[in-house]
Amino acid sequence: MRSLIDILDLSVSEIDDLIKTANDIIDNPKAYSDRCRGKKLATLFFEPSTRTRLSFEAAMYELGGNVIGFSEAQSSSASKGESVADTAKVISCYADIIAMRHPKEGAPLVAAMNATVPVINAGDGGHNHPTQTLADLLTIQREKGSFENLTVGFCGDLKFGRTVHSLICALSRYSGIKVILISPEELKLPSYVKKDVLAKNGIYYEQTQDLESAMPQLDILYMTRVQRERFFNEEDYLRLKDSYILDPRKLKNAKSDLCIMHPLPRVNEISVAVDSDPRACYFKQVLYGKYIRMALILKLLEEAGK
């Protein structure tokens, strides 16, 4: 059964096809409004979410399908001690496809190994978030036209930010990519991502703590929230949470066609004064997330023969 656990589960040409389908859905939404009639998506969210869960739900409704599920672990049998493997077997009896978010790294993979329907990883701990990456890629494709020869700055919590890890993996397959890692010392990109992804694919990267000096060379600036829920103590969080606050002054030396992205939710790291800047793409990114999830649901259901 084909699932999506890691962004690298999809080949570059499959990603191109998903982007093509998403763009076609944007142009012809009516042509897709009945494609999942009679099908059910189960959203199993063991960790809080607004965008990801609701965009999966909106995606399924816009395809004419239905949605079942839960949005917190407390309201599921996990609170009685049920394993992820058992939950996956049970939900496979009710739904045609599953989207799962879980605080434990690897939980969606365990679900996929036990489910008899496709499982989509909707974020596992500080590890991966492949559907956010698909939303990011669609945004980049629409804003920049291609994934090649881009200098991409990642800023903020690069240690725990799963969206950063997945997007770096995805970009490492394109040529001419330069990555600038901007973070406080304590929140640097994990060395396994540097070694197994960046170095292994020969991707040029730099590490700095200084957002303003990196700014002029960036084509894309990917801002992130400091991931409070993954910190071991509140003091460290409070010390690091406002390390970077993007405001109009810091954008003075930025390229005129910079694309400012953020997976959201935003806390303080982008001032609201930036929202009206034409380079701010983070709310478009939310909308694109729904369309690319529609394309993904269609693809996985088709491959599953549903």
- In angstroms, what is the minimal distance from the CB of 131 to ligand NCD? 8
- Residue 173, token pair as written in the block: 């397959």
Residue 51 binds ligand NCD, judged by CB under 6 A: yes
Residue 129 binds ligand NCD, judged by CB under 6 A: yes
Q: Which of 166, 268, 20, 250 is nearest to 258 (CA)?
A: 250
Q: What angle do CA 130, 71, 265 make, to 5 degrees?
A: 55
Interface of this chain with ligand NCD, residues 130 to 169, rule: CB under 6 A: 132, 162-163
Q: Burial-class residue 229 by CB neighbours within 10 Å (0-12, 13-18, 19+).
A: exposed
262 classed as catalytic: no
- Of residues 102, 165, 194, 225, which one binds ligand NCD by CB under 6 A? 225
Residues 6+ apart with CB under 8 A from 20: none
Buried b / exposed e across 31-66, counting CB within 10 Å, b at 16+?
Answer: ebeebbeebbbbbbbbbebebbbbbbbbbbebbebb
- In angstroms, what is the minimal distance from the CB of 175 to ligand NCD? 27
80 classed as catalytic: yes
**Judged by CB under 6 A, which stretch of 11-19, 24-32, 37-45, 257-265 contacts ligand NCD?**
257-265
21 classed as catalytic: no
51 classed as catalytic: yes
What type of residue sits at position 268?
A: N
Closer residue to ligand NCD in complex, CB, 21/163: 163
How many binding residues for ligand NCD (CB under 6 A)? 11
**Which residue has 């965008």 as its token pair?**
51
Closer residue to ligand NCD in complex, CB, 114/189: 189
Q: Following DSSP, what letter does each residue of 27-94 receive, concatenated? A: H-GGGGTTTTTT-EEEEEESS--SHHHHHHHHHHHHTT-EEEEESSGGGSGGGGT--HHHHHHHHHTT
- Of residues 123, 125, 130, 153, which one binds ligand NCD by CB under 6 A? 123
Residue 263 binds ligand NCD, judged by CB under 6 A: yes
Q: Burial-class residue 290 by CB neighbours within 10 Å (0-12, 13-18, 19+).
A: buried
- Of residues 264, 270, 295, 301, which one binds ligand NCD by CB under 6 A? 264
Closer residue to ligand NCD in complex, CB, 141/227: 227
- In angstroms, what is the minimal distance from the CB of 264 to ligand NCD? 5
Residue 52 binds ligand NCD, judged by CB under 6 A: yes
Q: Where does this chain bind ligand NCD (CB under 6 A)? A: 51-52, 123, 129, 132, 162-163, 225, 263-265
Q: Which residues are catalytic?
A: 51-52, 80, 101, 129
